[in-house]
Amino acid sequence: MYIGNHHIENNLVVAPMAGVTDRPFRQLCKRLGAGLAVSEMVASDPRLRATAKSMRRTDHRGESAPIVVQIAGADPANMAEAARYNVDRGAQIIDINMGCPAKKVCNVAAGSALLQNEPLVGAILDAVVAAVAVPVTLKIRTGWNRSNRNAVRVARIAEGAGIAALSIHGRTRECAFEGDAEYETIRAVKQAVRLPVAANGDIDTPEKARDVLWRTGADAVMIGRAAQGRPWIFREIRHFLDEGVHLPPPTVAEIRAVILEHLQDHYSLYGEVVGVRTARKHLGWYSASLVGGAAFRHEINQLEDTAAQIAAVNRFFDGLCERGERLTYAPTRTAESESSASWVEEALAA
């Protein structure tokens, strides 16, 4: 698959997720089989560029190409300037967010709220495409509610503006992340435009990836929540699509190594204090379906330094090894992981 002049090695894309798809996580997913990874959303408001959070999000040192930065906003001029700013800082593809359903984004008429204003959609796309020499892509939802699925019209606007590729989440803004994703609208978009299209939403197993590609005719699948605590899902899907058989599940030793590598990169980006606190959610996801995971999460949410956090990880995995446990991950988000909002919020607030 090509996006502009960039050849993407395979058709597996890491979805942009605020607070998740930072540089260490993107790099890890790429190493484990993803062909492309999109950054966390970066606000287009120039007043926010000097914040520590924004500076981290636009730090691409050591990141493998192509570097994709997602920008969000509702003002065409600000979005164009944000695109130029991020290209100057290393972005090789600019992605525009018109898919986020979060209230704090939609309340400022950005994200998926833009789908209600097709003229403004066109103005933003025209401004950003004209502002930079790199490919510009777009992420949308199927519409703003079930009665107003306008993804086909928006896709045609995007194609006319010179957008290089689309990704579509199979829910409306109103749906947020509730209910099942639907793929008929994605299929209709793919049939209506000549752009590369990535299908997104509820893709959590190799079989589901295969089926969604077949049902939609999409060129790629975009995976978000299913990769939280399971970044090796990309190599599992890639192997299944290529060979038609499943990879063996990862061993305790393999996943311990993945987690420790992830932690070192994470600490390097965030530093000691912020790094420990922001790593908690990842460690919670990694352990969500493992024996003893609840006690482990309680422990790590009390720890305040990197050495203690790493020691806790090693103790936890030593215990799994002693019991002869083999890591097995449910193909869908378990009840435990779905109810994990409280411990994630606890970890972030600590």
pLDDT mean over 313-331: 76
Q: Residue 274 class from Cβ within 10 Å (0-12 exposed, 13-18 middle, 19+ buried)?
A: middle
pLDDT mean over 339-348: 34
Among 85-94, 127-136, 314-323, the minimum mean pLDDT is found in 314-323
Count CB-CB contacts under 10 A for residue 7. Answer: 10
> Predicted confidence band at 111 (pLDDT cuts at 50, 70, 90)?
confident
Q: What is the pLDDT of residue 53?
A: 86
* Cα distances (angstroms) measured from residue 163 to each of 126, 184, 186: 9, 22, 17
> Predicted confidence band at 290 (pLDDT cuts at 50, 70, 90)?
confident
Over the stretch 19-61, which tens digit does the pLDDT of each residue have? Answer: 999 999 999 999 999 999 999 999 888 888 878 888 888 889 9
Distance CA 63, CA 29 (A): 12
Which sequence spans correspond to the domains of the chain? 2-243, 252-349
Instruction: Show which residues are catalytic.
Output: 100
pLDDT mean over 156-170: 97
Q: Is the dihedral of CA 103, 105, 106, 108 positive or negative?
A: positive
For the whole model, what pTM was predicted? 0.89
pLDDT mean over 101-117: 71
Burial 286-309 (b: 16+ CB within 10 A, else e): bbbbbeebeebbebbbebeebeeb
Rounded to the nearest 10°, the torsion over CA 120, 219, 134, 64 is: 130
Whether domain 2-243 has CATH 3.20.20.70: the reply is: yes
* Whether residue 137 has pLDDT greater than 90: yes
Using a pLDDT cut of 70, give the percent of the chain over it. 89
Name which residue leads in pLDDT, 148 or 264: 264
Count CB-CB contacts under 10 A for residue 254. Answer: 13
β-strand partners of 229: none
Distance CA 218, CA 309 (A): 41
**Locate tokens 């290393």: which residue?**
90
Q: In 3D, which of 10, 11, 40, 12 has the Cα closest to residue 24?
A: 40
If you count them, how many residues does the chain have?
A: 350
* Cα-to-chain-centroid distance, residue 268: 21
pLDDT mean over 90-95: 97
β-strand partners of 148: 145
Distance CA 314, CA 123 (A): 52
Over the stretch 184-236, which tens digit does the pLDDT of each residue have? Answer: 999 999 999 999 999 999 999 999 999 999 999 999 999 999 999 999 999 99
Report residue 199 as tokens.
Answer: 């299908």
* Cα-to-chain-centroid distance, residue 130: 26
Count CB-CB contacts under 10 A for residue 258. Answer: 17
Peptide bond into 66 cis (omega under 30): yes
The whole-chain average pLDDT of the chain stands at 88
* Cα distances (angstroms) measured from residue 182 to each of 12, 66, 71: 19, 29, 26
β-strand partners of 224: none
Q: What is the pLDDT of residue 344?
A: 33
